[in-house]
Copies of this chain bind each other. A is one copy, B any other.
């Protein structure tokens, strides 16, 4: 990929607290990928945050001395026009909506989480139409752009874009890059010497092999030395007998399935003590924006690392760089299935290792797909596909089918109660349904 007038990057949801990390990444990689314009876009309600974050971004660029223009705007189309990369990091309904996604299911005895279960489903219902709207703009104004999607539920959003637009897009999650960093640190090697195999879909993958410096380390990891969890997920431990007979390391998000009861109890207790995870994040964000507003701050503050999405921007910058330079390195990305998992539809999004060329990611054929997990994987993907179609059509029957077939929802009757209550609660963000 070679742009003619210098690289233009548009960040939809530019007022996010994550932005300083992204800016730092772009500055660090300037030599290989010289950004000319960085456009931070947000909506009217996010104007204040956009200004705070945007001004920090400008101070960071200024300090670096690099010739990058930083633009703040509420005009999405202006930002997208002729962009080379459009990254999305939006939250439709803001943290208030997330709070409902977490709270309502718990009140009915069901896991309440922002990316899976009924909560994740409603986040998708709200977000998919907005993302497809952005895609319409990209198709018109920047048809050759790559869309990098961080917006959760990242797998479903990527699948919606694949199914319902012509935009070239890739979905990204920080979970794989975190696992690589864990491995590199645990074995004291450079990250480039580490090759774990990821099998599955976003927030529902299994690590089935872990080559470190040319040696397979999976047996050790399964024997318990490799337990690992990120900051933003409760750290209940896995049962060692289960792990060894499984022969793979599940992502921490799989605890919602494999330890449903325990996770529910913990969430409920935590909810009573600290409020929802949305409440916690709310407090953290408030503190971050106070720091950002300090006009003497010219770099990403350390505290951002506690926000949860560690290394998101590193993942993003790596991806942009490889697409730009044709580096052909291996990254773990959300892409269309196209027959890789022969039991899932071709247009399903999956999360697997890819070689990133200048024409996009080329998936590696997964070498170890445990028979054990195919059913669960298919069950969750079935729910996801139904939910995406429901989001686009506003079809209540489809939404009911998605909810009722979600493995974390115990019955059709529970699905109906949750559907009714949550449709009502998020009504303003679900015009397709009303």
Residues of A near any B CB (own CB < 8 A): 1-2, 193, 195, 209, 211, 213-216, 238-239, 241-242, 244-246, 258-262, 324-326, 328, 330, 338-340, 342-344, 355, 357-359, 362-365, 367, 371-376, 378-383, 385-386, 396-398, 400-401, 404-405, 407, 410-416
Contact = CB atoms under 8 A, between A and B. Distances in A.
A365 B366 CA distance: 10
B412 A259 contact: yes
A381 B372 contact: no
A381 B375 contact: yes
Nearest to A345: B371
B363 A365 contact: yes
B405 A373 contact: yes
Contacts of A363: 364-365
B416 A241 contact: yes
B371 A260 contact: no
A398 B242 CA distance: 10
A59 B388 CA distance: 62
B367 A365 contact: no
A372 B405 contact: yes
A339 to B, nearest CB: 6
Given A214-B325, A326-B214, A379 B407 contact: yes
Contacts of A358: 211, 214-215
A412 B365 contact: no
Contacts of A241: 397, 400, 416
Nearest to A360: B367
Given A343-B343, A363-B365, A375-B375, 10 more contacts: A241-B400, A242-B415, A246-B401, A258-B411, A339-B342, A372-B401, A372-B405, A373-B382, A373-B405, A375-B383
Contacts of A397: 241, 244-245
Contacts of A261: 410-411, 413-414
A364 B362 contact: yes
Contact of A209 (B359, B372, B415): B359
Contacts of A213: 326
A220 to B, nearest CB: 15
Contacts of A355: 330, 355, 364
A396 B244 CA distance: 11
A241 B379 CA distance: 21
B326 A211 contact: yes
17 contacts: A2-B214, A195-B326, A195-B357, A211-B359, A214-B326, A214-B357, A262-B413, A330-B355, A339-B339, A339-B342, A339-B365, A362-B364, A371-B385, A373-B382, A373-B405, A374-B382, A375-B375
